[in-house]
Amino acid sequence: MAFDGAWKSLKPYLFMVFLQVGYSGMYIISVASLKRGMSHYVLVVYRNGVAAAVVAPFALWFEGKTRPKMTLRIFLKIMALGLLEPVLDQNFYYMGAKYTSASFSSALYNILPAITFVNAVILRMEKIDVKKRRSQAKIVGTLVTVIGALLMILYKGPIIEFIWNKGRSHHGGGDGGQNESHWLVGTFMLLFSCFCWSAFFVLQSNTLKSYPAELSLSTLICLTGAGQSAAVALVMERSAKPWLIGFDTRLFTAVYSGVMCSGVAYYVQAIVMKERGPVFVTAFNPLCMIITAIMGSIILAEEITLGRVLGAAIIVVGLYSLIWGKSKDHLTQEEAAISLPKLANDGIKMSNSADHVAVIDVQPAPKN
């Protein structure tokens, strides 16, 4: 019983750490493939097609009899999910990462929890009471995260040398000779991508309430995303050459991104989201940033500047203030859930004790 309790409490954290490691690999290999000429429009189509093909058999096997009935409202939500994440988020992320770098894009994505928190507050999925410390921590954490992101965007500073990249020629990102305007455009693309991903999390959390089938929902999101992104790709890529990939990094990027970062990620995120909410799911990006920065500087020889390190450090401080407030919310909800059954049991005991009271029929005294 003790092991079951420990696993239940640790499972959301372990799942999210696992996902961040997977996302770090995707950031590195996707940027490497894009800089070698792979079309991001085609990559999105292949990525979601592979994800749908991998997850669909599991959805049919495990949820064939328990899958909820499809309605027009749910179908429209799934179409919107396919547009937000596979089409808009992934395409704008790949374009932004190509203009900047893998380490910068993963670091900037740390504002995702703050954006998700603001969206959740606007849609009344998050409750705020400014008199309580946990709400104050979430508000302050959001503001600090935004300040860190602005520092990363506005200030670069000197390049920081590490043991593994000392003396190597660095690449700032993009196509080697990119200028500051390209970097700024890439930054705004990443910010828009981040907003779309945040909206995806919020809508996915809402959709799970009426369609609580994680595997089936993941499959449908990937299918609709592949279909919509294919329509976009056919318009943007008129020739057949971008669609032709061999047994190289481009194929590996499509398969890895599809299996790990679309199929598995949607499913795991849905499991954790049902228990902890969308803000908790997005709060683990700093780990991905650290892993990606190290891997990017080693594999891709990407530069790490002082401004990005300082901005990332400020973002981490803000994020953990936000996480602390969310953890207090979760503890409060658990205490409320525990107290309700206790009160119900007390009421049952009182009613049972009343049932066993002996009723004595007192006859009136005879009249003289």
Is 360 inside a domain boundary?
A: no
User: Which pLDDT band holds residue 333 (cuts at 50, 70, 90)?
Assistant: low
Is 184 inside a domain boundary?
A: yes
Number of separate domains in the chain: 1
**Dihedral (CA of 27, 30, 33, 38) sign:** negative
Distance from C-alpha of 196 to C-alpha of 88, rounded to nearest angstrom: 7
Of 130-134, 199-203, 260-264, 348-352, the poorest mean pLDDT is in 348-352
More confident residue, 344 or 88: 88
CA atoms within 13 A on the CB side of 124: 0
For residue 102, the model assigns a pLDDT of 74
Is 363 inside a domain boundary?
A: no
Of 201, 262, 325, nearest to 46 by C-alpha is: 262
For residue 44, the model assigns a pLDDT of 92
Percent of the chain whose predicted confidence (pLDDT) is above 70 = 80
Mean pLDDT of 301-330: 77
User: Which pLDDT band holds residue 52 (cuts at 50, 70, 90)?
Assistant: very high
Is 367 inside a domain boundary?
A: no
Is 348 inside a domain boundary?
A: no
Amino acid residing at 356: H
More confident residue, 119 or 91: 91
Write out pLDDT tens, residues 210-269: 998 988 999 999 999 999 999 999 999 888 888 888 788 888 888 998 888 888 888 888
Which residues, 6+ apart, have CB-to-CB distance to 136 below 8 Å?
130, 325
User: Which pLDDT band holds residue 336 (cuts at 50, 70, 90)?
Assistant: low
Helices 2-35/285-299 angle, 10° precision: 40
pLDDT at 172 > cutoff 80 = no
Tokens of 106: 């993963």
Is 186 inside a domain boundary?
A: yes
For residue 148, the model assigns a pLDDT of 82
Tokens of 240: 């057949």
Of 85, 109, 292, nearest to 186 by C-alpha is: 109
For residue 360, the model assigns a pLDDT of 43
Distance from C-alpha of 185 to C-alpha of 92, rounded to nearest angstrom: 11
Q: How far is CA 353 from its chain centroid? A: 51
For residue 145, the model assigns a pLDDT of 79
Is 295 inside a domain boundary?
A: yes
Is 340 inside a domain boundary?
A: no
Of 158, 130, 156, nearest to 142 by C-alpha is: 130
Helices 180-210/214-236 angle, 10° precision: 140
Write out pLDDT tens, residues 145-157: 788 877 877 787 8
> Mean of the per-residue pLDDT values for the chain?
79
Q: Greatest CA span in the chain, whole angstroms? A: 120
Write out pLDDT tens, residues 183-218: 888 889 999 999 998 899 889 888 988 998 988 999
More confident residue, 9 or 80: 80
| Domain limits for position 143 | 9-334
